[in-house]
Amino acid sequence: GKHRIVIPCLGHFKEEYEKVSKLYMNNKIRTTRYTLWNFLPRNLFEQFHRVANLYFLFLAILNWVPLVEAFQKEITMLPLVGVLTIIAVKDGLEDYSRYKMDKQINNLVTKVYSR
């Protein structure tokens, strides 16, 4: 039949354990949406799925056309930039709290019971 090999993560087996453990998935919990590298593009992508944000973006772009310009170009962008910034900060803080909770759960000490 099949045999199962268990390599302890102790002492002189540590190198072998690290080499073998790279071949398998870990069991860490990750509930965060973002990383440091994908926060800005992914957050903007999610925010522009909202119709209101697309509407304000359309108005800001339309105001850059000289024939249609109603206000100063920079003033039209302020509501959009303000809303996007506030929502990005809120999403970042929520994701950071999820990261801290995941870290706390992943570092819990567990007991393994054997017959």
User: Nearest CA to 92 among 42, 52, 28, 29?
Assistant: 42
Identify the band that residue 7 occupies on the pLDDT scale cut at 50, 70 and 90: low
**pLDDT value of residue 75:** 83
What pTM does this model have?
A: 0.70
Q: Which residue has the higher pLDDT, 109 or 32?
A: 32
Give the mean model confidence (pLDDT) for residues 28-44: 93
Q: Could you tell me which of 39, 28, 30 has the C-alpha nearest to residue 93?
A: 39
